[in-house]
Amino acid sequence: MEERISRDLYYLTMAFLVASRSTCPRAQVGFILTGQTSQGSQDLLSTGYNGALSGIPHCGDIGCKMVNALLRHQQNNLVYKLIGYSTHYPCWVCLMALQIAGVKEVHYIQEYNDLLIDSEKRELSGIIKLIKHSQQELLKVVTKEYAGIIQGIINGSLKS
């Protein structure tokens, strides 16, 4: 029997599938919110992707993916150790929302060019553990067809 992929790569792969629903013309970003129980199991709680909110024209960063996922999680009213998986490094607004919600770590693949000062963002990294994974690590564990979708999102060539 083949060895299973790690939980981190499993959820990061899902984040790229979620990103394929994005309507943002600038960058397709997906986010997975998971919760770890005291027994060590890790459950999928919510997903989110960037793009305009329903009924609002598309532009910029309207409808941050992590905030969407957090809002859906809050409706479930569950208490967990929260761990996030994102296609991109969190933007400043999402990083603040993640910190307020109590997210303890965020795993990501790509850097995100945020216009706000990096030093402020990095200051929160002491509160939220930010873990970067390589694209190659992710592409090794997925099928050829799915690898093409992920590569299209990374290259910005796959648009909804």
Decide: 102 and 50 in contact? Cβ < 8 Å.
Answer: no
What the chain holds in terms of domains, given with CATH numbers, is 7-155 (3.40.140.10)
Q: Global pTM?
A: 0.75
Highest mean pLDDT among 8-12, 53-57, 66-70, 149-153: 8-12
Residue 128 DSSP code: S
Q: 104-143 pLDDT, tens per residue?
A: 889 999 887 766 545 555 555 567 888 899 888 887 777 7
Angle made by CA atoms 127, 133, 135, in degrees to the nearest 5: 150
